[in-house]
Amino acid sequence: MNSVIQQAKRIIIKVGSSLVTNDGKGLDATAIRKWAEQIVHLRSLGKEVVLVSSGAIAEGMQRLGFDKRPTGIHELQACAAVGQMGLAQIYETSFRQHDVRTAQVLLTHADLADRERYLNARSTLFTLLRLGVVPIINENDTVVTDEIKFGDNDTLGALVANLIEGDALIILTDQRGLFTADPRKDPNAEFVHEAKAGDLTLEAMAGGAGSSLGRGGMLTKILAAKRAALSGAHTVIAWGREDRVLSRLAAGEAIGTQLTAQTAQLTARKQWMADHLQTAGKVVLDAGAVQKLTAEGKSLLPIGITEVKGEFGRGDVITCIDSDGRAIARGMTNYTSSESRRIMRKPSAEILSILGFVEEPELIHRDNLVLL
């Protein structure tokens, strides 16, 4: 038995491009109709469901006659714009048969990094759920370039789980779940039924990229599970073509790989900071500061900083890295990048004489800091 989906009240379901478009042959109406039917069933059990669907680019490629994924960003964006019409249409039609409305929600990374837009997206999604609508989310591919992308919809699914405090994330994919090694290459590969989200050994097992249609391989799914676990959401990775997969999961059947969240839940504001995929700037911490942050639960003082990278303003979310470049924490800074450069390596008592004012003795106060 696998009760995480059975017990979950709010579920985010992510379906990948290969599944949605029948491996790039065009929208798989039968599969989509079946998922819609099952989602309607889940709702009848009292669950709220948000769907994150990929497939816009794959469907657009098909409609525009590309047989290979274009490399130019604008061609990809054009494909996404064309394909998204097909996605919206087929979901609306499939749910209409059950008298259920759908809503298209296209998000960018910048939307979720901006506190106000983040709160707006959150309120809109809650309102849609309250009105009994199934939100269908995708990345707003036409307006984003590589540096500001979520990158893949597995990550987007996890961020949505955090945004609306989902209890579970179901990632439907073209594989049955996670194996200890690549089952196509290693006959000793064993299926992983259950593990802890965030367990580092999983990342080693998951290896390389996914299919040529979607962006996410098994590794992005493992990382998405780790991310979703930050807000307490459990993840199940399962084969989307498995018969009645969603209804059976909801009935408590153990299907796919379950990655259980065990971390304590972050507060909403800390969650928002942790979910910044990119930040304007970084500060490099010396070993003492790393120790103070990670082991002693202390704030970040200017004296513990050895370098300031990038340009940022007061109140921006920045990343704290160690001398090897590993991200340790994220937090809201009390000083701009140029002020930080002047006060780094200095005791806080000297801030006044250096800058002529003191905002706070800390560069980042503990209450505004989240460990990664």
Contact letters for ligand GLU, residues 263-282 (x by CB under 6 A): --------------------
Q: With left for phi above 0 and alpha for psi between -120 and 50, is residue 352 left, alpha or beta? A: alpha
Residue 313 CB neighbours (<10 A): 13
Q: Between β-strands 48-53 and 134-139, what pairing exists: parallel, antiparallel or unpaired?
A: parallel
Sole window of 137-145, 159-167, 238-246, 303-311 interacting with ligand GLU (rule: CB under 6 A)? 137-145
Q: How far is the CB of 177 from ligand GLU (least distance, A)?
A: 18
Q: How far is the CB of 255 from ligand GLU (least distance, A)?
A: 22
Continuous segment of H or E residues that includes residue 107: strand 102-107
Assess contact for 177 and 192: CB atoms under 8 A.
yes
Q: Report how far residue 323's alpha carbon sits from residue 320's, in angstroms, rounded to the nearest whole number.
A: 10
Using rule CB under 6 A, residue 141 touches ligand GLU: yes
Contact letters for ligand GLU, residues 326-365 (x by CB under 6 A): ----------------------------------------
**Cβ within 8 Å of residue 272, ≥6 positions away:** 112, 115, 118
Q: How far is the CB of 195 from ligand GLU (least distance, A)?
A: 22
Closest by Cα among 238, 209, 328, 341 to 279: 328
Nearer to ligand GLU, 141 or 362 (CB): 141
The pair of structure tokens assigned to 297 is 């639960």
Q: Of 195-224, which residues contact ligand GLU (CB under 6 A)?
A: 214-216
Contact letters for ligand GLU, residues 149-188 (x by CB under 6 A): ---xx-----------------------------------
Closest by Cα among 78, 84, 77, 83 to 63: 83
Distance from chain centroid for Cα 105 = 15
Distance from chain centroid for Cα 37 = 26
Sole window of 53-61, 292-300, 324-332, 354-362 interacting with ligand GLU (rule: CB under 6 A)? 53-61
Using rule CB under 6 A, residue 54 touches ligand GLU: yes
Q: How far is the CB of 122 from ligand GLU (least distance, A)?
A: 20
Q: How far is the CB of 212 from ligand GLU (least distance, A)?
A: 10
Distance from chain centroid for Cα 208 = 18
Q: Of 72-111, which residues contact ligand GLU (CB under 6 A)?
A: 80
Positions touching ligand GLU (CB under 6 A) are 17, 54-58, 80, 138-139, 141, 152-153, 214-216
